Structure 1
Amino acid sequence: MPMAPKTKRNLVTAALVGPSALWLFVFLVLPFVAMVIFSFGERAPEGGYLPAFTFAQYANLPARAAAFWNTLMLAPVGALLCLLVAYPAAYYLAVKADPRYRLMLVSLVVVPFWTSLLVRTYAWMYILGSRGIPNLLSMIGIEDVRMLNTPGAVLLGIVYGYLPLMIMPIYVSLEKLDRRLLEASADLGAKPVSTFFSVTLPLSLPGVMTGVALVTILLLGEYLIPQLLGGGKVFFIGNALVDLFLQSRNWPFGSAIAVTLVLVVVLVLMVAMRIAWRVSGSRQVDLV
């Protein structure tokens, strides 16, 4: 008996989606469920997990308030600085750059990703360290300038490390912009600044929101940049998790912080999608 078309389509869909769904279930859903279970447990005397059911780990979250505060303050600020640097660059690439050289310029934006973030961050450690910029400043009479192990150094590393992730979504939005709208605005007597704020910026907001959401979500779990450029003095949630799981071996408390971080990321994503939906008038799947 021949197979019904609907059944055949369902089988094809299951065959295509099944491997990805299985991968996500095993490596994303199950670990998260394990973290949730651990978060209600207690720390074993030798470290690790002791089965229990208690909310003590969540009640103890204020003990890591500094890590939460630094993350929730510096991550949005870092995303905003990335946006301020990325938007002019993306605008130039999409609107002003010569089409003959556009592909090469876009490639230059991606080139830093070919090098490990660890290596690039170590380079900034040298530049901001005592033998880098502070040493040059001391030669011209500006003494005792400390740039490394400060929030400013962390923000600089964030902008440098995550800038391409902000540029590309904005560039895609601007590159798809209908140039006839800009010409129509100019024909109606609008000045370039008015055209930008009334036409270009609103139409590129989906790309802006995608870039901001992407960078902010990744920064909420950042570990490497605060560790190297902050010198342990600028503590992010990622640093707290490494300390709790590897040093203190307090798995339940670390799991409670990790679950809270996941909830914060989901909240940020929902807010970003809501804002994108309101400013564009339709839901933006780019943010998912």
Structure 2
Amino acid sequence: MKKFSQLALPYIIWSIIILFLPVLLIAFYAITDSGNAIVNFNFTLQNFVKFFTDPDFLLILWRSLSIALKTTIICILLGYPTAYFISRCKDRTRNILILLITLPMWINMLVRTYAWIGLLSDGGILQSLLNLLGFKSTQLLYTEGAVLLGMVYNFIPFMILQINTSLSKMDKSLLEASSDLGANRFQTFWKVTFPLSIPGVISGIALVFLPAVSSFFIPKLLGGGQYFLIGNVIENQFITVGEWNFGSAISVIMAIVMMVIMYLVRYVEKRNSGNRREKKV
């Protein structure tokens, strides 16, 4: 056993270098002044004070959380019926449908987002279709709707796959027992199917909300720089402005926000599983 643990040592070191060292470097930049030398540096919390005392940054943070929440809700409303339909299909049909859902994910997310520019821009397919229907003055690209559409398109497969996994693992005998006890289809769904699929819904929420709240290239491409989110602020601080310390502070703030959200999601999941055990007892 000791020899096997020694074989794992290089992988542990490599993981520390790849995963933890960049995080520590960002945390170090966040609590130091800009322009510090390698040896002489001053610790400060001014970067965090600057963020929380500027109403513009707080507005952008709220906008990011808002659009991430909207994206998550839309993904649930569209993804749950889709996952439910897939779980009710035969194995061969289910595998084909899952393949169709995951197939676009084989293409880089940036390329898929660029494709929407051609669809939503003036002279694009969707714009031309709206013109035929009489909506000639409708602006599709560089709007909040375009950003929301790009978010939902890129992240909804995670919601569908997670919910479908929970529904597929569900014991079908419970549905038969519910029917034998006189429950109709709606009652069976609400009392049996939906509660058992909640772990998949919660996992899907985590996989959709977290990347949506920190996304930067989707609002940049589909929003045209007019719809600024917190991810764009971080990118701008690092690449354009050169304020690595302030950008690192915002990154740390977003990391804390994400950890809090993950803790809440985990807490709800544990509480829900505990309630199910109590009902069984």
TM-score (norm 2): 0.90
Is this contact kept in 2: 1:205–1:280, CA < 8 A? no
Find out whether 1:237 has 2:227 as its counterpart. no
Is this contact kept in 1: 2:47–2:246, CA < 8 A? yes
Amino acid aligned to 1:21: I
Q: Give the one of 16, 20, 30 matched to 1:29.
A: 20
1:109 alignment partner in structure 2: 101
Amino acid aligned to 2:227: V
Q: Give the one of 178, 184, 188 matched to 1:185.
A: 178
Shift of 1:167: 1.0
2:43 alignment partner in structure 1: 53
- Measure, in 2, the Cα distance between the counterparts of 1:126 and 1:165: 25
- Measure, in 1, the Cα distance between the counterparts of 2:66 and 2:204: 18
Task: Give % identity.
Answer: 36
Q: For the structure 1 residues 20 and 211, does the alpha-carbon distance in structure 2 shift closer, same or farther, using more than 3 Å as the test?
A: farther
Aligned partner of residue 43 in structure 1, secondary structure: coil
1:218 alignment partner in structure 2: 211
2:117 alignment partner in structure 1: 125
Q: Give the one of 40, 44, 59 matched to 1:66.
A: 59
Kindly provide the CA deviation profile for residues 80-139 of structure 1, in whole angstroms up to 9, marking residues without a partner as x.
1111111111111112x1323221111111100111212211121121111122333233
**More displaced, 252-261 or 60-69?**
60-69
Is this contact kept in 2: 1:36–1:259, CA < 8 A? yes
Aligned positions, number: 270
Amino acid aligned to 2:50: N
2:278 alignment partner in structure 1: none
Kindly provide the CA deviation profile for residues 37-78 of structure 1, in whole angstroms up to 9, marking residues without a partner as x.
111222239xx9x83211110001143223211211111211
Two-structure CA RMSD over aligned residues (Å): 2.1
Could you list the runs of 5+ residues in structure 1 that have no partner in the other structure? Answer: 1-7, 283-288
Find out whether 1:195 has 2:185 as its counterpart. no
TM-score (norm 1): 0.88
2:4 alignment partner in structure 1: 12
1:156 alignment partner in structure 2: 149
Find out whether 1:137 has 2:127 as its counterpart. no
Q: For the structure 1 residues 11 and 270, does the alpha-carbon distance in structure 2 shift closer, same or farther, using more than 3 Å as the test?
A: farther
Runs of 4+ off more than 4 Å = none
Amino acid aligned to 1:241: I
Find out whether 1:169 has 2:159 as its counterpart. no
